């Protein structure tokens, strides 16, 4: 078996490949370039193609499928950059990575605190040697209500870590779970919108929940609400966000993701005129803290994301050898959580039973947090 890595970062990811290649007994090839029509041929002779979030077109999948590629292990939690319908038509399976939730959860809490205490403005004014106090007064999070949308692994970790701050916690998820109930009260979205001083997003991105935070949702929120997004940029309508900031309805925003970030983030654009007007406008607001999709970026998480691709491919290969007809059942465990699953034909791993708080592509509204396991070892 052989895997082709695209967009493999030489300064962090590459160092893990040789050890994992030996550990899993899988050959590999790589390039630091994102997939383009000119380099698709690099996947010849490979059974799998692994990417970070970048532009992947249906034509790319067709070309890889013609070369014999059958599996697409993403080195990211999100897999919305993969044309999933085309992958299903071609019989290509998709997996996404896993990493410990604390890194992103703590980053989201950091953004809450920075927004509340106007840290962005304080730092910018300090750079200009403005050390006055006027306009810098912040708010105490202990007297606030925080709403968490999506109580998967990351959302639950946010709740658990926030519980030590003394603030009131509300939560929304299509699939409530008992662990989250230890820290928060589950409410409907409208109640969460109107009750919370801070709202943080921790749900996966689907076609259904695109722009779930739109003008209508913002209108239901408290005046001066703080919005935090470390999940996916498509969850927030950028025009509605800009209007909310201009009107003062939104008091501050901490954004690690924005819509249409593929091809923009993780590249040096110094001196370029960026073709993303919404991002340019958002960066102009003094009450917006913006980071380029780096909430995940810790040593532990990078190692986990790279290994996830190897592990998923290894399990896929084992399953294919054991079940050549393309159907098998299995069990998996992560921490204290266990589940069974059923794979058949093509497409992503599909849980055969409900996993509380997990990402479920068939959910009614696509507003559930957590993660979908890749391809656990067959039972």
Give whole-number Cα distances, 263 to 35, 120, 272, 298, in Å: 11, 26, 13, 21
For 186, list phi and psi in degrees, rounded to 5: -75, 135
> Has 62 been annotated as catalytic?
no
Q: The tokens 């689907």 sit on which residue?
A: 206
The reply to whether 156 belongs to the active site is no
User: Is residue 281 classed exposed, middle or buried when 0-12, 13-18 and 19+ CB atoms within 10 A define those classes?
Assistant: middle
Catalytic one among 93, 96, 293, 360? 293
Q: Are 77 and 97 in contact (CB under 8 A)?
A: yes
Cα–Cα distance measured from residue 168 to residue 140, given in angstroms and rounded to the nearest whole number: 12
> Token match 């068939």: residue?
362
DSSP-assigned letters across all residues of 139-168: --GGGSEEEEE--SHHHHHHHHHHGGGT-E
Q: Which of 261, 307, 315, 360 is catalytic?
A: 261
53: which DSSP letter? S
Going across the sheet that includes 350-351, the strands are 327-334, 337-344, 350-351
Nearest to 263 by CA among 12, 95, 56: 56
Token pair of 221 as six digits: 């929120």
Name the active-site residue from 93, 156, 232, 315: 232
- Tokens, residue 193: 């919108």
d(CA 77, CA 91): 21
CA-based torsion, 229, 227, 254, 165: positive or negative: negative
Which structure tokens are listed for 38?
């000119």
Contact indicator for 152, 370 with CB cutoff of 8 Å? yes
> How do beta strands 185-186 and 168-172 pair?
parallel
Q: Give me the active site residues, please.
A: 232, 261, 293
């Amino acid at each position: 078996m052989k895997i082709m890595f695209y967009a493999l970062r030489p300064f962090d990811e590459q160092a893990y490949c040789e050890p994992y290649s030996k550990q899993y007994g899988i050959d590999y090839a790589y390039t630091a370039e994102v997939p383009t029509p000119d380099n698709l041929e690099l996947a010849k002779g490979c059974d799998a193609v692994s990417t970070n979030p970048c532009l992947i077109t249906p034509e790319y999948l067709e070309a890889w499928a013609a070369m014999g590629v059958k599996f697409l292990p993403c080195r990211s939690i999100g897999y919305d950059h993969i044309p999933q319908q085309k992958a299903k038509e071609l019989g290509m399976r998709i997996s996404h990575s896993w990493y410990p939730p604390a890194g992103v959860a703590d980053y989201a809490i950091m953004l809450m605190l920075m927004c509340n205490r106007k840290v962005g403005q304080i730092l910018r004014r300090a750079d200009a040697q403005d050390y006055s106090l006027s306009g810098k007064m912040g708010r105490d999070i202990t007297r606030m209500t925080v709403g968490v949308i999506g109580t998967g692994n990351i959302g639950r970790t946010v709740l658990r870590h926030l519980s030590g701050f003394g603030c009131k916690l509300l939560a929304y998820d299509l699939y409530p779970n008992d662990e989250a109930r230890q820290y928060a009260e589950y409410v409907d979205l409208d109640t969460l919108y109107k009750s919370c001083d801070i709202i943080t997003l921790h749900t996966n991105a689907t076609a259904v929940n695109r722009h779930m935070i739109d003008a209508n949702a913002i209108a239901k929120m408290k005046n001066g609400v703080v919005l935090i997004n470390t999940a996916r940029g498509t969850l927030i309508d950028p025009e509605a966000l800009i209007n909310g900031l201009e009107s003062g309805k939104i008091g501050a925003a901490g954004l690690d993701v924005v819509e249409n970030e593929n091809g923009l983030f993780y590249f040096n654009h110094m001196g370029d005129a960026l073709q993303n007007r919404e991002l340019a406008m958002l960066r102009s607001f003094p009450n917006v803290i913006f980071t380029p999709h780096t909430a995940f970026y810790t040593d532990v998480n990078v190692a986990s994301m790279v290994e996830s691709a190897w592990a998923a491919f290894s399990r896929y290969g084992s399953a294919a050898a054991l079940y050549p007809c393309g159907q098998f059942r299995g069990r998996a465990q992560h921490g204290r959580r266990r589940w069974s699953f059923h794979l058949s034909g093509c497409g992503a791993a599909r849980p055969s039973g409900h996993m509380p708080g997990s990402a479920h592509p068939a959910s009614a509204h696509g507003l559930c947090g957590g993660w979908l396991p890749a391809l656990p070892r067959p039972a």
